[in-house]
Amino acid sequence: MNFHLLFLFMCIVAGNNEKEKDSEEDIKRKRIIEQLTKTRTVLLDDYLLVTRQIAIDVFMYRSYRTVSVINYNIITDVSKAQFTFQAEELHLNNIGSCSPQDVVINIKHGSYPALNPDGYNFPKDFIDPSTREIIHSIETLSNGKNRTYTIDNPKPGLVANCRTILYTDLQVKREEDIEIIDCYNDIPLTKIPVLYKCMARDTTDSLTLVFEVNDVVANNTSEFLTFQIQTFSIPSDENYLVYCKYSPGLNFVNTVISFNPAPNSWHYIKIDYINGNASKIADCESYTGDSVDEVNKTVVDLMRDDKGRFFTFDYGLPTTDLQDATSLVNITSNETKSLRFKVNQFLDIGGNLAIEASVLMSLKYFMGYKRQFVNETLLTFTEDDKFFKVVICMEIDKPSIPLETGKCKFNDNVKPALFVLNSTDSDSIYDKVIIPYPESGTWYLTFRLFGDKVVCPCRKFDNGTKYYVETNPSRRVEGTDILANDTREGGTEGNATVVLSISSTSCINGRCSNDGACGLNTFGGLVMSFCSCSAGFGGWDCSDDSRMDTKIYMLVSVLLLTLSNILFLFSIYAACIRYYYTEAMMYAFTMVFSTFYHACDAPAQVAYCIVRGNILQFGDFYCGLMSFWVTLLAMCIITDKLRSSLQLIGAIVVALLTTWNMHSFVSFLLPVAVGVTVLLISWYLDYRKTKRMLYHSSYYRRYFPLGVILVSVGLISYAFLQTEQNYKVVHSLWHMVIAVSVVFLLPDIKRNDANPFVPSPGFCWQPLCMIFRKSPSQ
């Protein structure tokens, strides 16, 4: 039988997450993969290599949209699982070097680990993470070195969260000497140590194991026998359902162990000797039929109501009502009722499971209608003398037993209940919990009703045994000396109805508050829902505004990014007075698109979009690259016909590059490199022909070097100094520096001995203004 081991790699790396698909990257990627595969994992003795992944992309964590997911298959009877991780940086360009980054890997059984790596708090209704399966966290560096991690006795069915290339593999050690037995027949102990496994029936009744101790075992009086029982995996000193000791020399009788099993599941039984101090281990005599809670138990299978969308379904008692799957669960004080439903592996684990429960009370309860005396004690906010609490437990693959203390017990494991609802406090008759990425398996919700023997109307809490309502403690009952906070007797038996709702949705109720978008991450064929937050909001459902900038700060930031483009007016002015009208129009379009793109890309509170943001983004990148291209052509010493042809060719090529990948370094480098090459060749050919420099000497001595310095400062700031934290300042500086540099780079060759920054005498924006004048023939 095969089981599955899921991994979700949530990695926090300081790197770039753009998906560049050029051939140079492919070559480097193949080289790194070859390097990773050459470093072979050492296969340990008696271990089996299950699977490996050699080309996992790791991105900087933004949300669950950027995590990478790996799925492993793992066989049964595994005692150890060893994981190997090796990460290497993929250098996308030849500038500088890539330093190793931190890679964080989280491993969890049954589903994706629900974490907030960016430090936000979970919403208030989220389940306490400590009550769920343990998450194994591993930190490594993308330095090409191996990192191993071992899990003892893993459950079949683990998930893990992590541009870095990651290699990983899994090798397991399997216990071969396991004897399959029948749990419901006597078990002869012929040898020690021994490891058994048996299948429990599909029932919640207690299971009694009878071990027949033979003479060989009984005559060994110097040691205790230890019995360890666990479901799904081999038991250990830390993970077990039952762990007890037995002295065969002192008690030469058959050993009987009774416990609550997991229905329809494999149970592993490990029997061995133990030397030394065994005082901390319970005696097997404590695991008898008398110690197991034998209250009347019933199990009801819930109906699945599928809505036909990702992670959208409900569970409820079987009904023909197509509109509502809410269940009315009738319970009594002399039984425990378990409702079970199945969360499918892969198909259901990527959403959020919401469980709501409320005690059904009449309208009179909320109106405080029932007010009477019982033994001269006032009853307040109750109906029909109902003083009770409902304890609801939740477990996966096994039904735990609700206790009157508000805890849940399954053999030796005791933990807080999912809900404790009580009839004497209107604030406590309802509760809700949201479970992100629920684990696959059979879920059990177990209900039990307890009567409150002592009830008081004042708001207090005493070890989970007293539940109260809000009243005025100083108020006296009219005509008596009885205070409203006097205690009174409640009943021990009764019945109640609980309203139960179990539903699953993508994100939180299918949405992400008002400041995020619900999306789906489909990595490696596995699907998970996530919230992509906007406008500075964060958290699982984008409701956390603790790190959001003030509106004044956001407004100043967007004004800085937009108004910095005003300096392009100087470029337009210089191009017009020097008769570069094509270039002037390109600078004008760059200014307009850049201004409105950054206004639209701002936080929602201050954003302003005249058209869709992707259109403005394309215009910004395209016109920016074209401004570089036409400026370099304007500096070239070539004919007007050749310049026009090159401008048209550049317009087509730059459009293709921007459409292919506007964020790619190649999209910027290619037109600039070609333009610089054409510029230098034209200057060289002209000088070789005329033996003199064409432009005025002041251009070569002052303006051109100053323009080159400004462009260099802008490129260095844009490529190397710009980060998420300083983006607003550095990118605004980039706008201003590039705009001003054009003023010095455009040669004033079309005018004779004119000041390059002053229009010619009588300049009327010639010849532009001639377009609007009548010709002499008219």
Q: Is the pLDDT of residue 390 over 50?
A: yes
Check if the beta carbon of residue 496 is closer than 8 Å to that of residue 362: no
| 3-state secondary structure (DSSP) of residue 102 | strand
Give residue-wise pLDDT tens across range 184-239: 998 888 788 889 999 999 888 888 898 887 765 655 655 778 899 998 888 888 88
Most confident option among 262-266, 277-281, 381-385: 262-266
Q: Is the pLDDT of residue 131 over 60?
A: yes
pLDDT at 382: 47
The torsion angles phi and psi of 216, rounded to 5 degrees, stand at -60, -45
pLDDT band at 377 (very low <50, low <70, confident <90, very high): very low
Residue type present at position 473: P
Between 61-75, 597-611, 617-631, the lowest mean confidence (pLDDT) is in 61-75
Check if the beta carbon of residue 348 is closer than 8 Å to that of residue 504: yes
- Strands 495-505 and 312-316, by their bridges, are antiparallel
pLDDT band at 375 (very low <50, low <70, confident <90, very high): very low
Vertex 675 angle, CA 671 and 680, to 5°: 155
pLDDT at 458: 41
pLDDT band at 9 (very low <50, low <70, confident <90, very high): very low
Side-chain-facing half-sphere of 428: CA atoms under 13 Å: 23
Neighbours of 2 (CB within 10 A): 8
594: left (phi over 0), alpha (psi -120 to 50) or beta: alpha
DSSP state of 106: E
Most confident option among 86-90, 97-101, 171-175, 264-268: 264-268
**Cα separations (Å) of 720 from 564, 714, 715, 717, 738?**
20, 10, 8, 6, 16
Most confident option among 134-148, 383-397, 434-448, 470-484: 434-448
262: left (phi over 0), alpha (psi -120 to 50) or beta: beta
pLDDT at 748: 85
Higher model confidence: residue 255 or residue 472? Answer: 255
Distance CA 33, CA 452 (A): 66
| 3-state secondary structure (DSSP) of residue 75 | strand
What DSSP assignment string belongs to 264-322? T-EEEEEEEEE-S--TTSEEGGGSSGGGS---EEEEEEPEEEEEEETTEEEEES--S-S
pLDDT at 1: 39
Check if the beta carbon of residue 599 is closer than 8 Å to that of residue 562: yes
pLDDT at 770: 56
Domain boundaries, the chain: 2-174, 179-291, 299-505, 551-770
DSSP state of 760: P
Q: Is the pLDDT of residue 713 over 60?
A: yes
Q: Is the pLDDT of residue 248 over 80?
A: no
Residue % of the chain over a pLDDT of 70: 77
Q: Is the pLDDT of residue 310 over 90?
A: no
CA 444 to chain centre: 26
CA 628 to chain centre: 41
Higher model confidence: residue 398 or residue 289? Answer: 398
Q: Is the pLDDT of residue 597 over 90?
A: yes
pLDDT at 315: 92
pTM of the model: 0.71
- The predicted model gives 129-133 an average pLDDT of 78
Give residue-wise pLDDT tens across range 630-666: 999 999 999 989 999 999 999 999 999 989 888 777 7
Most confident option among 77-81, 308-312, 471-475, 566-570: 566-570
pLDDT at 337: 92
pLDDT at 663: 76
- Find the radius of gyration of the CA atoms of the chain: 37
- The predicted model gives 519-532 an average pLDDT of 84
pLDDT at 288: 74
The torsion angles phi and psi of 531, rounded to 5 degrees, stand at -110, 125
pLDDT band at 291 (very low <50, low <70, confident <90, very high): very low
pLDDT band at 457 (very low <50, low <70, confident <90, very high): very low
**Long-range CB contact pairs, 581-589, < 8 A, 24+:** 581/768, 582/630, 582/647, 583/627, 583/630, 583/631, 583/634, 583/746, 586/623, 586/626, 586/627, 586/630, 587/627, 587/739, 587/742, 589/619, 589/623
pLDDT at 481: 44
Give residue-wise pLDDT tens across range 660-693: 888 777 788 888 899 999 999 999 998 888 888 8
pLDDT band at 128 (very low <50, low <70, confident <90, very high): confident
Vertex 278 angle, CA 276 and 282, to 5°: 165
pLDDT band at 297 (very low <50, low <70, confident <90, very high): confident
What residues are paired with 48 via a beta bridge?
172
Residue % of the chain over a pLDDT of 90: 25
41 Cβ contact partners less than 8 Å away, ≥ 6 residues apart: 49, 52, 84, 146, 169, 171
Most confident option among 68-77, 524-533, 579-588: 579-588
For the four alpha carbons of 150, 151, 154 and 160, in that order, the dihedral sign comes to negative
Q: Is the pLDDT of residue 720 over 70?
A: yes
Nearest CA-CA partner of 148 in 44, 256, 67, 34: 44
Token pair for 616: 């403005």
pLDDT band at 429 (very low <50, low <70, confident <90, very high): confident
Length of the chain: 778
pLDDT at 18: 38
> Mean pLDDT across the chain, nearest whole number?
79
pLDDT at 450: 87
Q: Is the pLDDT of residue 34 over 80?
A: no
Between 189-198, 229-238, 265-274, 473-482, the lowest mean confidence (pLDDT) is in 473-482
Dihedral, 217, 219, 224, 228 alpha carbons, nearest 10: 10
pLDDT at 73: 72
775 Cβ contact partners less than 8 Å away, ≥ 6 residues apart: none
Vertex 521 angle, CA 517 and 522, to 5°: 145
Between 52-56, 124-128, 202-206, 459-463, the lowest mean confidence (pLDDT) is in 459-463
Neighbours of 545 (CB within 10 A): 15
DSSP state of 120: P
pLDDT band at 524 (very low <50, low <70, confident <90, very high): confident
Between 75-79, 383-387, 473-477, 583-587, the lowest mean confidence (pLDDT) is in 473-477
**Fold annotation for 551-770:** Rhopdopsin 7-helix transmembrane proteins (1.20.1070)
pLDDT band at 447 (very low <50, low <70, confident <90, very high): very high
Neighbours of 549 (CB within 10 A): 16
Which helix (H) or strand (E) segment holds residue 255: the answer is: strand 255-259
Residue type present at position 359: V
Strand ranges for 335-386 from DSSP E:
335-343, 352-359, 372-374, 377-379
pLDDT at 8: 44
375: left (phi over 0), alpha (psi -120 to 50) or beta: left
Check if the beta carbon of residue 244 is closer than 8 Å to that of residue 229: no
**Long-range CB contact pairs, 556-563, < 8 A, 24+:** 557/602, 557/728, 558/598, 558/599, 558/602, 558/603, 558/606, 558/607, 560/728, 560/729, 560/732, 561/598, 561/602, 561/728, 561/731, 561/732, 561/735, 562/595, 562/596, 562/598, 562/599
